[in-house]
Amino acid sequence: MITADDFIAHATRAGFDFYTGVPCSYLTPLINGVLSDRALRYVGAASEGEAVAIAAGAWLAGRRTVVMCQNSGLGNAVNPLTSLNAPFAIPTLFITTWRGRPGEPDEPQHEVMGRITHDLIGLMGLEQADFPAQPDQLGPAFVHAVARMEATSHPFAWVLRKGEVADADLDQPSPQPRAPGRREDVREGGARPTRSAVLQRFLDRTDEETAVVATTGKCGRELFTLADRPQHIYQVGSMGGASGMALGVALNTARKVVVLDGDGAALMKLGALATIGAYAPSNLLHILLDNGVHDSTGGQATVSATVDFAGVALACGYAYVASCDSAAGFEEALAACTGASGPCLIHIRIAPGSMDRLGRPTVKPAEVARRFKAFLAETTPSAPRIAVTVS
C-alpha cells in the first residue's frame, strides 16, 4: 500500500501537474490528496469522456496530465480515447479502478466491466500495467509510463485495485457563490445566416493570437476551408469533446480561447457547460452554431429547437450569454464579449446546409495538434484585438 503523498511526490517529479476525472471510492485517497495540494490542479468532470477531453486540452497547453475514473465509466471514455487521443497522438496517464474484479465481491453492475477491463484497454490499443501499489514501485513505474507515452504519443493505463492507496483526508475549499451572469437577446426572427457566413465574420474579427477549437463535422471543415491557421485545431472525432478540450486549454494559458461548437455536439456533452461554468475561465468564449440538424449525417433533426442553450449556460454559471439568429446579431454579441468577464456563450441559430466545395483538413490530426501546441507555447502579445478578459 502507498499513500497519496507518496504518489503525488513521484508524479510531481515526473512532471505530472494537471489532474481531472470522475471519482470512485477506490480513488478517494488519490483525489483527496490532489485536491488538498494547492500546487496542483484537479478538474472534476461531469463524465469520464469529458475528463479525457479536458486533459487533452491541458496537454496541448503544455501540461502533463492524469485522468482518473472508475472502470464502470471506462465505456464513457472509449470514444475520446479512440477518436481524439489516438488520431491526434495525445498522451495522458490514465488511471482506472478495477471494480468487479473476478473473485472479489462487488455490486452486480460491476460484474461485466470487471471481467473485461483489461481486455477493453487492450482493444483500444493502449499499453497498461498494474497500479504501482508499493513505495519502491512508484519511481520505476513512473519512469516506464513516461517513457512509453513519449515513445508512442498515446495514453498509458494503470489499473488500480481496492485498498492500494491508504485513506487520506480531504482539504478542499468550499465553492464560492458568484454574481448572476448577464443575458442579452438580439434575435431578429428573419432568415438565418449560413454557418460559413458566421464563421467568416468570426475570422474577420479574431486576431492571430486567439486559440480556436472547432468541433467535429462540417464546422471544422468549413473553418479549414475558409482559413487554415496554426491557432486552429479541428476535431475530427470525439463528438461533444470540443468544449472540454477548450476548457483544458483555457485553464492553462493566458491566451483567449474560442470553442466553435454545434448543437448536436453540445447536447451530447451538455454537462460540459456546468463544468465550464464552475471553473469559470475568464478567457473562454463558447460559440454554439445551432442549425437544428446533424448536418454531416444527412440532416436528421436534433432536439435543439426546444433547448434554450443560453439559458442553460447562464444557469450553469457563465458570466455572459447571448441569443441571436442573424449575422448582425452575432457581431453585436461578439462585440459585447470584448472586455466582458468570461466564460461567455453566444448561441446563434443558423440555416442547415454547408458551403459549396467543402474541403477537409489536409494536415494530419497529429500534426495539427503539435502545430497548435507550438502556437500556444509562443509568447502572447499584451493587447489582442478580440478579448474576453477579467472585468
Q: Domains along the chain? A: 4-160 (3.40.50.970), 182-377 (3.40.50.970)
Question: Residue 335: pLDDT band by 50, 70, 90 thresholds?
Answer: very high
Helix (H) or strand (E) holding 211: strand 211-214
Highest mean pLDDT (candidates 119-123, 167-171, 234-238): 119-123
Q: Determine the average pLDDT of the residues in 331-346.
A: 92
* Grid cell of 193 as nine digits: 445566416
DSSP code string of 89-111: T---EEEEE-TT-TTS---GGGH
Helix (H, G, I), strand (E, B) or coil at 204: helix
DSSP code string of 19-88: EEE---GGGHHHHHHHHH-TTSEEEE-SSHHHHHHHHHHHHHTT-EEEEEE-GGGHHHHHHHIIIIIHHH
Question: Residue 141: pLDDT band by 50, 70, 90 thresholds?
Answer: very high
Question: Residue 354: pLDDT band by 50, 70, 90 thresholds?
Answer: confident
Cα–Cα distance between 62 and 53 in angstroms, integer? 15
* Grid cell of 142 as nine digits: 513512473
Q: Determine the average pLDDT of the residues in 187-203.
A: 95
Question: Residue 357: pLDDT band by 50, 70, 90 thresholds?
Answer: confident
* Grid cell of 231 as nine digits: 491557432
Q: Is the pLDDT of residue 386 over 50?
A: no
Bridge partners, 185 (sequence order):
323
Q: Is the pLDDT of residue 115 over 90?
A: yes
Q: Is the pLDDT of residue 339 over 80?
A: no
Tens-place pLDDT, residues 236-277: 989 999 999 999 999 999 999 999 999 999 999 999 999 999
Mean of the per-residue pLDDT values of the chain = 94
Q: Determine the average pLDDT of the residues in 35-55.
A: 96
Helix (H, G, I), strand (E, B) or coil at 268: helix
Q: Is the pLDDT of residue 381 over 60?
A: no
Q: What is the pLDDT of residue 388?
A: 30
The sign of the dihedral angle between the CA atoms of 300, 302, 304, 306 is positive
Q: Determine the average pLDDT of the residues in 221-242.
A: 95
Q: Is the pLDDT of residue 384 over 50?
A: no
